Amino acid sequence: MKTLNYGVLQGNLLTGLIPESIGNLKNLNILNLSNNYLRGGLPLSMGRFPILMTVSLSHNRLPGSISHSFGQLRYLQDLDLSHNHLEGKINRAVVEKIK
């Protein structure tokens, strides 16, 4: 399913981990997995989306730090990771993308 453009699965009571294979969806523009029960760290493959513009992973149970791979998202404009259990500093490259 490499031609998926919009991945909107918010509020579906999804549980478990975000799989590394999510990075194989090369045509994804929008990824919204907010308001679920996702846990585990943010996969490094999140930086593999060449045209991803919007990421919303808010209101989940994601722990750990914000992956440096978000800085590789060339077209990133909107990033919402609020209401999780994330900690640490946000990579400067990520901040520059969404200014």
Structural domain span for residue 10: 6-97
Look at residue 24 and tell me if it is in a domain.
Answer: yes
Look at residue 50 and tell me if it is in a domain.
Answer: yes
Look at residue 88 and tell me if it is in a domain.
Answer: yes
Indicate the pTM of the whole model.
0.88
Q: What is the pLDDT of residues 36-65, one digit of tens each?
A: 999 998 888 988 899 999 999 999 999 988
Residues 80/64/61/35 CA torsion (nearest 10 deg): 10
Look at residue 58 and tell me if it is in a domain.
Answer: yes
Rounded CA gap, 88 and 86, in Å? 7
Q: What is the pLDDT of residues 26-41, one digit of tens each?
A: 999 999 999 999 999 8
Domain count, the chain: 1
CATH of the domain at 20: 3.80.10.10
